[in-house]
Structure 1
């Protein structure tokens, strides 16, 4: 029973151990591949450059585009030079005529050192040896190069700019892109510009007209800019009150929205009643017109009753009446008429 239990426990343990060993080995190989770790023998060399801007420790050392080592360290030498120490696989020995060039790896600005064969003897450079300044070249000044192409890049799409810039750099560094490809893109650019010659000329002419007008009205334009600056300065000084006002306007808008929402049913009924009213007025247009014509005279006569003060004066000018009694004839009252000027008589 004990032997059987031991065997049943040992089998899973052996399987787990084999699984862990395989997993650790695969992980180690993957990590070594990612960080480019090589277990082969390496030799260390040095190279003196006038400028290694952008070069960092761990950057590639390449021969014919193939990675053969990496940069180990960078230090200042003689105050104006940079000495780079790097490793190269022992199976790739360097010669005393070997040249070192700092090149762009991509447009992001990453760099690497390219080792090329130079003219001279085939004597091997001993490990720890130094490539002198006379056989090194600094990186191409990408900013100065691309700034010169700014007018051209302005007429291209971003993808064309990236492709053209990459080929320019590769061509000037002597690798990858060919001069034919560079010239093809340049020809395409010039063809595009030539096809829009009239449009470009029209834009330039209009721009000249605008500039001439601004030049003639320079004093007014300067005054406008000064006034604009004052307005902006005033707004900047009053930014807090303006901000508070905007908040208050927001609150007012919310309150008004609520008021209109509450009054909407009543307004709807009022609008419906107004529609009926306008229809009635339209049907009785002549009557309304006659009332409006007589109304000023009537109002003048009515206002005359209050011409002596804050009261109304009334005068009895004419009086007559009719009285109807049950079971009797109609009884007429004596008529009375005052013949005075105020009564029109």
Structure 2
């Protein structure tokens, strides 16, 4: 029984070793095949953050290549990325160096870009951006801790007495002691005010306790809102009227903006001024009727003669009446 178990364990270890050898071979084979068939692109950074040859290149989490080599290039460093020939990277995609975990290795992450952008060709350069690594974050946290410690020290110093000067609590205690009577008076006044409000005294008390006052106030506010709406409607109507006048619509718009109508109105007013001037001077028939009283006197005499002639016609026959009328008129 023991020999059988021993044999089984040896067999399992042998199979496990074969599996590890196969996985290693496939990983190395895929990388070597990629180095032969893929195309290179260049990614420039300020800091490679321990990125090394053989690290993954991923797009949206999918491995599409590996880091072929790293090199210095002036004031920056470059990573030559070997990309699988089956993968197309848009020209507006961006690359950054990120970590697979707190203790994981770094890799190059590439964004998807837009589908309509032109693809990057071999030996072309991809745009990059810097991302904060764990060391930078820890350094910033350290700086934040130091600033927080300084702030707490300053606050603690404010609460302690220094150089014979009283502390903040001592000053507050002294302030309360010196103004205790005033504080009591203020509290008493506040209590009195709240009691009056609770009893419904004063305007505020009525507003709080009397529903009728609240209803009146609400009705007044409603009337004010209605008046505001009416005023708004009036203003809107006035704006529309002004707009119509400005466009030359209507009688007023025509008079203000129609040059022909304005000229005709001016001509009419000029003619009216000439007629009134002639009337005032006594020119023409109407002017004489208005200014010359001789015509009035003659007309009055004629009417008197006609009256006498009609009286004579009543006292005589037809033939005699005609003669009487003729004598009376002429």
Q: TM-score range by the shorter chain?
A: 0.3 to 0.5
Q: When you count helix as a share of all residues, which structure comes out higher? A: 2
Larger Rg: 2
Q: TM-score, normalised by structure 1?
A: 0.33
TM-score (norm 2): 0.35
